[in-house]
Amino acid sequence: MNDPLQHIFESVSLLIPEVIITASLIITILLGLILKTNKHVILKTLALASYGLAIFIVLHHLPTTSTLLFGGMIRIDEFSSYFKFLFLTGGILGVWISGPQKENSSAEYFLLFHAVILGSCLLASSMNFIMVILSLELISLSSYLLTGFGFNKKSAEGSLKYFLFGTVATACMIYGISIIYGIAGTLDFSSELFLKNLIALSSPLLLIAGLFTLAGFLFKITAVPFHLWAPDVYESAPTPVVAFISVVPKLAGIAVLTKFTLAIHLFGQSGYNWQVILSVISLLSILIGNLSAIAQTNPKRMLAYSSVAQSGFLLVGLVAFGMDGIHFMLFYSTVFLVMNFLVFNALNQFENSYGELGIQSLAGLGTLSIIPSLAILIGFVSLTGLPPTAGFTAKLFIFGSLWGAYQQSGELILLVLFVIGLLNTVISLFFYLKIPYYLFIKEKKETANSIKSDVAGNLLSLILVIVLFYLFISPDKLMGWINKITFVL
Amino acid sequence: MRHLLSYLIFTPLLAAVVGLLIPATQKNTFRVFALLISIIQIVIMVLIALHYEHHDGIQLSERLPWISMDLGQWGTMKAEYFVALDGLSFPMVALSVAIISIAVISSWTIEKNQKGYFILMLILNGAIMGSFCALDFLLFYVFFEFLLLPMYFLIGIWGGPRREHASIKFFLYTLLGSILILIVIIALYLSFQDPTSGKVLVHTFNMLHMQNPENIIPGSILSIDSTDLLGPYSYRLWAFLLLFIGFAIKLPAVPLHTWLPDAHVEAPTPISVILAALLLKFGAYGLLRFAYPIFPDGAIYFSWLVGFVGVVSIIYGALNALSSKDLKRLIAYSSVSHMGFVLLGLASITVEGVTGAVYQMFSHGIISAMLFLITGVLYDRTHDRLIANYSGLASKMKVFTGFVLIAFFASLGLPGLAGFIGEVMILFGAFLSQKANGLLPIWMAIVATFGLLLGAGYYLWTIQRMFYGPFSVKIPAAEMNDLNHREYVMLLPLAMAALFFGVLPQTLLNFINPFAQQFVEALFKSASFINP
């Protein structure tokens, strides 16, 4: 590292996907100023093209070794590359289902998408608390703005709520990090110094600092008790934005949470049992998410609570505290991305045709709009975790790793999480079936128009359904890829 | 000929996909299409019967790798597409083919959204075949779960007035049972290894491996030398209990039976037929196939509980049937009572009891199908099922009354009809148990015998109320014609089967008996391996 400039240049050359997104971001601003007509189509194409290119590069330059960049701020490894692949896929899907914006706000809309993805990619690969804070804020600020894109009072209210909750969570996180910095003497949480100092100075302060820091990450993944913003924000934001922010920032949060908990776990030498703390959070997320979802009458509010519960399931893989738990969590993340977009895409199609909907107003629309209805049914079956969809496989794997962890550690809380988590499938079935129930079983009250034909949306549904079935019938292919990922802190 | 079972399972599933492509306007093609598939399945079934030999092993097996993946520190996980038949599944598969064909004929009167209905029927068909053939625990689970969704919609869309409530109740109850089973499946596969894989640790869902306690990985929570307790019981006993509760919901046994009367009353006739004749069998089938062989220690330890639940179901079901005002509800409760006999036979763990249990499953399949078709005949004419609203039907509907008498007498266990053989063998087993293996106290068998008496009571009373006396029907405009050709075609084969298997039980016992002998023998052998 004799020549810092040289090092930075070398680092940039390994960050091509991020560079592409940044370039696309800048071009979007410029085009937004220059273009007068067809803004939406051109910028949408640009976004899809740049994400596609970035995915291509991520997949074709899969790192075999992990490389530290920018003086240890960022590390390129298989783990972060896989998450980048997920974020970019989420970006493509989110952009795909985004309808035309107001002519003068199109550029800002895509700009913010780029920013969220850029932030997520950086967050998944950061190895330093400063980097974590910066990229987390990049995601947060952009998503606050994105939720306001309904341009009505409700949307603005949701955006403001999101902002207020978010800032408090970030403040807590920074406060926690500052204490950890004080104890460890370094911001690089993969360094030996960090490990040594934390093991040496195991004070209750560490527990408090750790919990404060967790707050920021748990807010991002909408885990209990930092989930309160989700229903209001989901309800008020435009549906494509909800689909996007319910997946990409959440998975970014999961990525950094994985790194952070493994760091603070100190290879089992921590004085505090982070496994138990995470199990409790996971258990509460699953229970509270599912139980609250039952009473909802607005589909997006219901999906917000479902998203809380899904975070709980994602955390189950982390709770296992082992390599295969993390692998299964990656599999679950992939499946979650697919099924979530499947549901939101169909919901978006309904909203485009019928306007804002309560669950009850979907009554009897099943036969009028058969493709979105079937898509939403398959999406919900998968979210419940029933065969023959990949949701079942993912749940099977992730709870398998939890049982393995219980067999090893004998912590009773893990058994409780195992049993309660699986039994929650029954509770979740009750509300996940609500929408298909209204679509197919309830008779319609008045004659409704049939749905506007939407070839792109139907095509997307078809692709996502095929992926869900494929990952059920043969999960080995994807798991074979994921299994090659080694994750060292 | 090597893939006969796969043909049987995947013909209807593929047909469902093909059916999606037929435009919905081609209304009546769908029922012809579904019937055609059923006929193809009957042909396949005949071929299977020709290739089946009477011995105690599995036959016609097909094995393909399905999921095989590395679990890192925990070795490899392997799930297979493993289907085969033995003395337990052969009668069940044959029954399924026959009952589904009849259900398709019975669906001829469905008018509402035929495309959706028959496609769901085809999916249901394939999933039922798959569940009975699967010998890989995960594969069984997947097929079984897969049939719940079509069933939910079939009850929910084409059912009676309270169908919405009934369908969701059915789905939630059965899913609860399934999840209890899934909990055990996950724990099990991490505790069993494939002995054929050499040094590599391969976790398997294969039933044949799971039946052998030597394949349990030492040191795992479900291993036989584990002394860990969770509350009063060891983990193995808990696992058996979970499986038992899970399958008891599907059976259904009292007190987990409340979904059944609702689902039956609201479901359309063909679906009631499939529900009673086939779906209820999965409870007992699961116990025989999975719970008992994998946890013989639990089976022996909890035999009193299984027997007790069985006896309670027999009596409680019969008493409820006695007080039912709705004919369909009466038959639903009689199913609860008859499934109680299956539990009792199973709990005795004697060759007689187990043979009787499987025989009862088969004969109840035939008889309950007949009973629900009979209510369907009445419902089609009057849209009313209240017993009190009918009287003296025998004078107007002579042929129909004949079939009703056969079905009712078969169900109450009259000698010479199919219901008798199963019940009497179960009672033999239950009486024998105290002396032979000391598992069931003799009072259970005695109390169960009273169940037969109650059965005779509610059926005879119903015949007296509905068919004898002066003719009157409360629904004014209803024309009480005798059976038409379609109804005749459905009821006649079932009535003949009820007679045939009552007079010549040996035809069926040739399949069941080798299975039951091997089942009891293997169970006590593994139990003595586990608790020397």
Give per-residue pLDDT as tens, A49-76: 999 999 999 888 777 777 888 878 888 8
User: Across the strands, what pairs with B134?
Assistant: B83
pLDDT cut 70: percent of chain A above it:
97
Torsion of CA B493, B494, B500, B503, to 10 degrees: -150
- Residues of A with Cβ-Cβ distance to B164 under 8 angstroms: 437, 441-442
Average model confidence (pLDDT) across chain A: 88
Buried/exposed A415-438: b ≥16 CB within 10 Å, e otherwise: bebbeebbbbbbbbbbbbbbbbbb
Q: Is the peptide bond before B12 cis (omega within 30 degrees of 0)?
A: no
Contacts of A284 (CB under 8 A, 6+ apart): A224, A225, A312
Alpha helices by DSSP H, listed for A297-322, are 299-319
Using CB atoms, which residue from A415, A429, A476 is nearest to B68?
A: A476
Which tokens hold the place of A433? Answer: 């079936």
Which pLDDT score, from 0 to 100, does residue B2 have? 78
Q: Between B157, B167, B186, which is nearest A396 by CB?
A: B186
Half-sphere exposure of B255 (CA within 13 A, CB side): 0
Q: Is the pLDDT of residue B56 over 70?
A: no
Query: In chain B, what residues touch A371 (CB-CB under 8 Å)?
Result: none
Share of chain A above pLDDT 90, in %: 51
Residue of chain A whose Cα is closest to the Cα of B221: A407
Instruction: Tell me how far the alpha carbon of residue A29 is from its chain's centroid.
Output: 26
> Which chain A residues touch B73 with a CB distance below 8 Å?
322-324
Domain ranges in chain A are: 276-489
DSSP label of A444: P
**How do residues B98-154 score in pLDDT, each as one tens digit?**
999 999 999 988 888 888 899 999 999 999 999 999 999 999 999 999 989 999 999
Identity (one letter) of the amino acid at A44? Answer: K
Identify which of A130, A315, A144, A299 has the alpha carbon closest to the alpha carbon of residue A222: A315
pLDDT digits (tens, 9 = 90+) for A258-305: 999 888 887 777 778 888 999 999 999 999 999 999 999 999 999 999
Given a contact cutoff of 8 angstroms between Cβ atoms, the answer to whether B311 and B264 are in contact is no
Do residue A476 and residue B69 have CB atoms under 8 angstroms apart? Answer: yes
**Contacts with A415 from chain B: Cβ below 8 Å:** 230
Q: How far apart are CA A419 and CA A398, in angstroms?
A: 13
Position with higher pLDDT, A307 vs B204: A307
Outline where B75-113 has alpha helix (H): 89-106
Q: How confident is the model at residue A447 (pLDDT cuts 50, 70, 90)?
A: low
* Interface confidence (ipTM) of the complex: 0.90
User: For the segment B154-213, what is each residue's pLDDT rounded down to a tens digit?
Assistant: 998 898 888 888 999 999 999 999 999 999 999 888 888 888 877 778 888 888 888 888
Q: Is A437 on the interface with B (CB under 8 A)?
A: yes
| A192 confidence band (pLDDT: 50, 70, 90) | confident
DSSP state of A449: P
Residue B67 φ/ψ, nearest 5 degrees = -105, 130
Length of chain A: 489
Contact B241, B249 (CB under 8 A): no
Q: Write out chain B residues lying below 8 Å of A442, CB-based.
A: 164
Q: Which residues of A touch B190 (CB under 8 A)?
A: 400, 403-404, 407
Contact (CB<8Å) B73/A323: yes
Terminal C-alpha separation, chain B: 44
Q: Which of B68, B146, B220 sits opposite A407 (nearest CB)?
A: B220
- B171 interaction partners in chain A (CB closer than 8 Å): 429, 433
pLDDT score of A103: 60
Written as six digits, the tokens of B133 are: 């053939």
Query: Where is pLDDT greater, at A166 or B222?
Result: A166
Q: Does A194 touch chain B (CB under 8 A)?
A: no
Residue A385: pLDDT over 80? yes
Q: Which of residues 459-488 of A touch B (CB under 8 A)?
A: 474-476, 479-480, 483
B142, A388: Cβ pair inside 8 Å? yes
**Contact indicator for B498, B277 with CB cutoff of 8 Å:** no
Whether A182 contacts A189, CB under 8 Å: no
- The whole-angstrom distance between residue A64's C-alpha and the CA centroid of its chain comes to 25
Beta strands in B193-299, from DSSP E residues, in sequence order: 202-204, 229-230, 233-234
Cα distance between residue B527 and residue B349, in whole Å: 12
Query: Could you say which residues from 316 to 355 on chain A have a Cβ atom under 8 Å away from some Cβ of chain B?
Result: 322-324, 327
Chain A and chain B share a number of CB contacts under 8 A equal to 94
Residues of B in contact with A327 (CB under 8 A): 72
In sequence order, which ranges of B324-417 are alpha helices (DSSP H)? 327-348, 351-382, 393-396, 398-412
pLDDT band for position A26 (50/70/90)? very high
Lowest mean pLDDT among A99-103, A138-142, B492-496: A99-103
Of B148, B156, B189, nearest to A441 by CB-CB distance is: B156
User: Nearest-CA distance from A365 to chain B in Å?
Assistant: 13
Helix (H, G, I), strand (E, B) or coil at A103: coil
Q: State whether A322 and B72 contact (CB < 8 Å).
A: yes
Smallest Cα–Cα separation from A396: which of A302, A482, A489, A313?
A313
Q: Which pair of tokens denotes residue B259?
A: 């979904």
- A410 pLDDT band (50/70/90 cuts)? confident
In the predicted model, what is the mean pLDDT of chain B? 89
CB contact under 8 A, B221 and A406: yes
| Phi-psi group of B254: left, alpha or beta (phi > 0 → left; psi -120 to 50 → alpha; rest → beta) | beta
> Which candidate, A477, A318, A391, places its Cα nearest to that of B69?
A477
**A445 has pLDDT over 70:** no
* Residue-wise pLDDT tens digits, A237-246: 999 999 999 9
* pLDDT greater than 80 at residue B54: no
**Is pLDDT above 80 for A406?**
yes
CA distance B119 to B130: 17
Question: Is pLDDT above 90 for A461?
Answer: yes
For position A224, what pLDDT does the model report? 87
State CA B213 to chain mean position distance: 27
In chain A, which residues have their Cβ closer than 8 Å to the Cβ of B140? none
What pTM did the predictor assign? 0.93
Per-residue pLDDT, B321: 93
Q: How far apart are CA B348 and CA B265, in angstroms?
A: 33
Nearest to A147 by CA among A165, A164, A167, A162: A162
- What pLDDT was estimated at residue A104? 66
The model's pLDDT over B264-293, given as tens digits with 9 standing for 90+, comes to 889 999 999 999 999 999 999 999 999 999
Report yes or no: B47 at the A interface, CB cutoff 8 Å.
Answer: no
- Output the CA–CA distances (angstroms, integers) from residue B140 to B41, B147, B182, B281, B354, in the order listed: 20, 11, 11, 14, 22
How far is C-alpha A70 from the chain's CA centre?
A: 26
Query: Which ranges in B52-136 belong to alpha helices (H)?
Result: 89-106, 114-133
- Contacts (Cβ under 8 Å, ≥6 apart) of A474: B67
- Would you say residue A1 has pLDDT above 60? no
Chain A contact for B157 (CB, 8 A cutoff): yes
**pLDDT tier at A39 (50, 70, 90 boundaries)?**
confident
